[in-house]
Amino acid sequence: MSLSEYEDATKTPGEQLNGPPELPITLSFNETAYASVLATPEALEHWAIGFAFSEGMITRASQVSEITTDRLRHGVRVRLNVAAHIERLGGERRRVTSASSSCGRCGSAEEAQMMEGLQRLPASTPPPPAQLERALEQLSSEGQPGLHMALGFDGDGQRLGTGVDIGRHNALDKLIGASLVEGRPLSMVLLSSRCSLELVQKAVRAGIPTLATLSHPSTLAVDIARLCALNLICCHRGRRLTLLSSG
């Protein structure tokens, strides 16, 4: 088959196309709906903890006493049982519009809310290139078509966890959520995507010293990473490594 021809799959049932699953996922604090995203319906408890943490709604996993999931007509609701003051805060900050898997900050009410949680990280040294090379090999061998992966490592380059989702923001939230629940801080995250401001924000808020992405970050992501002393690395899809910001 040449590139001038199509493989005709117009009559193939959707479930036989092997595409990644995607559903609307709504996060609620008690009975208050906070935000909806399009996400892969797996590891949703870790996603909910990571997303709530990244949004500044909680500061530790123990603030959530229970997590329940319910099927809705078209998607899933993940309900976090939290104290009344967190629910009130969720009502005040609830997203104006639904977010999507491609832009996690869509619907933020104010620009200041987009920058919330940014801080200057403690000084840190970027990981050795050989450590990133090994991480890239793992990402390449374990990648799934149509899905993003976030790989988490400790300071010695040992793998601590994985977040997988159709959205890169959701994949990182799942990884952060798992690290909070398991009490294993991350020293480096490698993402199978480009880097946006929100990914920098999530890494900084979680206290992750190093964020590496497959393709080039936005200029705003680089600027904020430098202000926050985040080690930000572009891996150029494994062809070379560029350190764009350092601690």
CA–CA distances in Å: residue 104 to residues 63, 158, 196: 23, 28, 10
The active-site residue out of 103, 195, 234, 235 is: 103
Does residue 195 have an active-site annotation? no
For 162, the token pair is: 């994985």
Per residue, what are the HEC states of the chain?
Answer: CCCCCCCCCCCCCHHHCCCCCCEEEEEEECCEEEEEEEECCCCHHHHHHHHHHHCCCCCCHHHCCEEEEEECCCCEEEEEECCHHHHHHHHHHCCCCCCECCECCCCCCCHHHHCCCCCCCCCCCCCCHHHHHHHHHHHHHHCCCCCEEEEEECCCCCEEEEEEECCHHHHHHHHHHHHHHHCCCCCEEEECCCCCHHHHHHHHHCCCCEEEECCCCCHHHHHHHHHCCCEEEECHHHCCCEEEECC
Distance CA(171)–CA(199), nearest Å, equals 10
The residues annotated with a catalytic role in the active site are 103
